[in-house]
């Protein structure tokens, strides 16, 4: 099943996964902590463990459970816990990256019914890809955009050349010692998406990327995906990009 472009999905195993995002299953496996197995490391309420349903061939799949509060979300974490979650996740992601065991390692979060996730309980995933280097599909332009806020170490913007289309929030970190500031900007972007953006947005994805001179995070509000992207991989850019950038800046940075 060796492939450098596609991941093979175990459909039979995937059908066994519990579903709590859409309400099909009232039982949350991440709340039942005594039943969790294959825990790699823990830090207070944060748990890092092997994925019980490793549906992707030629990978090492892990789950980072962010909190023991099922109905919480990254957008409302207290700053201390927010920083702890992002620090812990980035540390484990970069450890796997530097292990030499994988072509690349992806670190991401799904939230909401249109995100591609199945479990409502706040969590992220860190997945080692044995044959695929995701960085081959990444370009510097993916993280360039209309500035929302800038400092010497962190750039926060909205893409002018989004990967999927319309609005994508980017946080580019040039100095890992400023990771807490990156976490603050991630939370701002997620909070804006869920509470102020397009009125009815319930879903987003958070992706992390290893860059030649730092790391980046991309927050993508999720709706039904455009057919132009599905069929032709043609992203669209909104004519409201500047307006949204100004709105985020006004709401979260006008008093800083």
| 200 has a pLDDT exceeding 90 | no
Please tell me the number of Cα atoms within 13 Å of 116 on its side-chain side. Answer: 13
68-102 pLDDT tens trace: 999 999 999 999 999 999 999 999 999 999 999 99
| 2 has a pLDDT exceeding 70 | no
Coarse DSSP helix, strand, coil percentages of the chain, rounded to the nearest 5 percent: 30, 25, 45
3-state secondary structure of 27: coil
How many of the other CB atoms lie within 10 Å of CB of 130? 14
Do 160 and 240 belong to one domain? yes
Do 168 and 101 belong to one domain? no
Q: Sign of torsion, CA 206 112 129 32?
A: positive
| Concatenated DSSP letters of 137-199 | G--GGGG-EEEEEE-SSEEEEEESS-SSSB--EEEEES-GGGHHHHHHHHHHHHHHHHHTSTT
In the listed set 135, 168, 190, which residue is the last one of a domain according to the structure? 135
The answer to whether the CB of 167 falls within 8 A of the CB of 204 is: no
* Range in 79-83, 115-119, 121-125, 131-135 with the lowest mean pLDDT: 115-119
The answer to whether the CB of 135 falls within 8 A of the CB of 104 is: yes
pTM of the model as a whole = 0.95
Tell me if 4 is assigned to some domain.
no
Residue 178's closest CA among 151, 203, 200?
151
The pLDDT of residue 23 is: 58
Do 87 and 120 belong to one domain? yes
The pLDDT of residue 15 is: 87
| 256 has a pLDDT exceeding 70 | no
The pLDDT of residue 53 is: 93
Do 114 and 170 belong to one domain? no
3-state secondary structure of 252: helix
| 196 has a pLDDT exceeding 80 | yes
| Concatenated DSSP letters of 84-101 | HHHHHHHHHHHHHHHTSS
Tell me if 198 is assigned to some domain.
yes
| Concatenated DSSP letters of 215-230 | EEEEEEE-SSPPHHHH
The pLDDT of residue 197 is: 87
Q: In the chain, how many domains are there?
A: 2
In the listed set 135, 151, 181, which residue is the last one of a domain according to the structure? 135
Residue 190: domain span: 139-253
In the listed set 135, 167, 185, which residue is the last one of a domain according to the structure? 135
Do 192 and 248 belong to one domain? yes
The pLDDT of residue 1 is: 54
Tell me if 2 is assigned to some domain.
no
Do 111 and 198 belong to one domain? no
Confidence tier at 142 by pLDDT (50, 70, 90): very high
The answer to whether the CB of 108 falls within 8 A of the CB of 117 is: no
What is the CATH number for 21?
Answer: 3.30.428.10
Query: What strands, in cross-sheet order, belong to the sheet with 145-150?
Result: 39-43, 46-50, 59-65, 123-129, 104-111, 204-211, 214-221, 169-173, 154-159, 145-150
17-61 pLDDT tens trace: 888 776 556 789 999 999 999 999 999 999 999 999 999 999 999
């Amino acid at each position: 099943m060796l492939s450098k472009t596609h991941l093979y999905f175990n459909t039979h195993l995937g059908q066994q996964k519990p579903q709590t995002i859409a309400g099909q299953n009232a039982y949350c496996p991440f709340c039942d902590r005594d039943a969790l197995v294959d825990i790699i490391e823990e830090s207070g309420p944060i748990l890092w463990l092997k994925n019980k349903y490793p549906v992707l061939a030629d990978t090492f799949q892990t789950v980072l459970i962010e909190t023991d509060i099922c109905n919480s979300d990254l957008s409302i974490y207290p700053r201390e816990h927010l920083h702890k979650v992002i620090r812990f996740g980035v540390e484990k992601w970069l450890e796997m990256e530097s292990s030499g065991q994988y072509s690349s390692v992806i670190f991401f979060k799904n939230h909401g019914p249109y995100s591609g996730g199945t479990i409502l309980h706040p969590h992220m995933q860190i997945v080692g890809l044995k044959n695929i280097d995701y960085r081959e599909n990444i370009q510097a332009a993916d993280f360039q955009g209309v500035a929302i806020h800038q400092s010497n170490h962190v750039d926060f913007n909205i893409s002018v050349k989004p990967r999927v289309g319309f609005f994508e929030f980017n946080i580019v970190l040039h100095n890992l010692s400023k990771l807490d500031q990156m976490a603050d900007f991630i939370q701002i972007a997620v909070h804006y998406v869920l509470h102020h953006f397009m009125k009815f947005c319930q879903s987003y994805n958070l992706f992390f990327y290893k860059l030649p001179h730092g790391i980046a995070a991309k927050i993508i509000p999720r709706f039904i995906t455009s057919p132009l992207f599905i069929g032709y991989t043609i992203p669209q850019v909104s004519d409201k990009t500047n307006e949204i950038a100004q709105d985020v800046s006004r709401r979260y940075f006008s008093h800083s």
